Amino acid sequence: MVFLPPPAALGSQGHKGDAVVRPAVDTTRPGGRPRDESRDQAIRRAALQLLAEVGYDGVTMDRVAARAKAGKATIYRRWPSKLALVVDAITMSAEQSMPVPDTGSFRTDMLAFLSSFRDAIGDDRGRILAELVSEMPRNSELRDALRNGLLAQRKAASDVIAQRGISRGEINAETDRAVLMELGPALVLQRILLSGEPVDVGFMERIVNDLIVPYATGRRREEST
């Protein structure tokens, strides 16, 4: 979920997973030459660093260019606006740091999903998320772009996990998938952004064992009838 990428290659989460496919950015330069992806990564990283330091309003293409040691024209050839750059940087980072787990069971998939979600919004990434959430009510373009980018990407990952669970017979097919997949991240966000209480393995296991799995199977609904 959200999202400064580590300096090394991302994706080593300790579990098997596949990244959600997102719309590709054009990788060719005028004349058909391939674009230097390392420059793209440097520009995205600069944008994320500035988001953490000065907030969305403080990010400008001039500042990104200076931080990334890139020409402003180079940035505009890749991204037509600050909004496009910010959303692409966040979505790409989240995609890389939150592969879709495929452990063989819904319970352990959810534990892996919550663990990578916690890691993806930790440290500076949590500050970036808080900044963007606070900006969304007064910036409709940013809100719509994040919903169509980062949030759509997370929903796609959630749908993959839920569908696998249904196919394996671990989830009641009538379960509301949106509620099912929002339970865990909502509680993790509550602790990271608001209460500051620890989000350790024990806490995530309680979320999965006591809330998510019973809701997924319909067990508590059956017990209450």
Provide the number of structural domains found in the chain.
Answer: 1
- Please check whether residue 5 lies inside any domain of the structure: no
Q: Which two tokens stand for residue 117?
A: 């979600």
- Please check whether residue 4 lies inside any domain of the structure: no
Residue 208 DSSP symbol? I
- Please check whether residue 9 lies inside any domain of the structure: no
- Please check whether residue 104 lies inside any domain of the structure: yes
pTM: 0.68
**Residues 6 or more apart whose Cβ sits within 8 Å of residue 178:** none
Give the whole-number percent of the chain exceeding pLDDT 90.
44
- Please check whether residue 73 lies inside any domain of the structure: yes
**Number of other residues whose CB lies within 10 A of the CB of residue 58:** 11
Q: pLDDT tens track of the chain, all 225 residues?
A: 333 333 333 233 334 444 443 444 444 444 445 566 788 999 999 999 999 889 889 999 999 999 999 999 999 999 999 999 998 988 887 776 677 889 999 999 999 999 988 887 776 777 787 788 888 888 888 888 888 777 777 788 888 999 999 999 999 999 999 899 899 989 998 888 788 899 999 999 999 999 999 999 986 544 544
CA atoms within 13 A on the CB side of 42: 13
- Please check whether residue 3 lies inside any domain of the structure: no
> Which DSSP string do the residues of 62-120 spell out, in sequence order?
HHHHHHHT--HHHHHHH-SSHHHHHHHHHHHHHHHH-PEE--SSHHHHHHHHHHHHHHH
- Please check whether residue 110 lies inside any domain of the structure: yes
CB distance 146 to 136 below 8 Å: yes
- Domain of residue 24 covers 17-224
Residue 198 corresponds to which amino acid? P
> What's the CATH number where 66 sits?
1.10.357.10
- Please check whether residue 6 lies inside any domain of the structure: no
